[in-house]
Amino acid sequence: MRQGNHETPPTVAEVVHRAVEACYPAGSDDGLDAFLRHYEDRDEPVSALASRDREFGWLQAQGIEV
C-alpha cells in the first residue's frame, strides 16, 4: 500500500503570495500589493477556509479584477 502524503497544507498567506507572484512576476502592482498586505498575516491552512469565494470577494468590491 502506498504511503499517504502528510504534508501540511499551505497557509492562506503562502497561497496568496504565490498567486501574486504568478500574476505579476515582473514587479509590483497596487491592487496586488493591497491583496498581499491584506492576507500576509493569515497563518491558517487554506483548506480551513469555509468559502474561498466569500473570503476573496472583497477584491471585486475594491474594483480589482481577478
Q: Do 38 and 17 contact (CB within 8 A), yes or no?
A: no
Cα gap 45→51, rounded to integer Å: 13
Q: Is residue 26 domain-resident?
A: yes
In-domain check, residue 43: yes
Residue 49 structural domain: 12-61
Asked whether residue 7 is domain-assigned, the answer is no
State the DSSP H helix or E strand holding residue 21, giving kind and residue range, or none if neither: helix 12-23
Taking the mean position of all CA atoms in its chain, how far away is CA 15?
4
Local confidence band at 10 (pLDDT 50, 70, 90 cut-offs): very high
pLDDT digit string (tens) for 13-29?
A: 999 999 889 988 887 78
Q: Structure pTM?
A: 0.71
Please count the structural domains in the chain.
Answer: 1
Give phi and psi for 24, each to the nearest 5: -145, 70
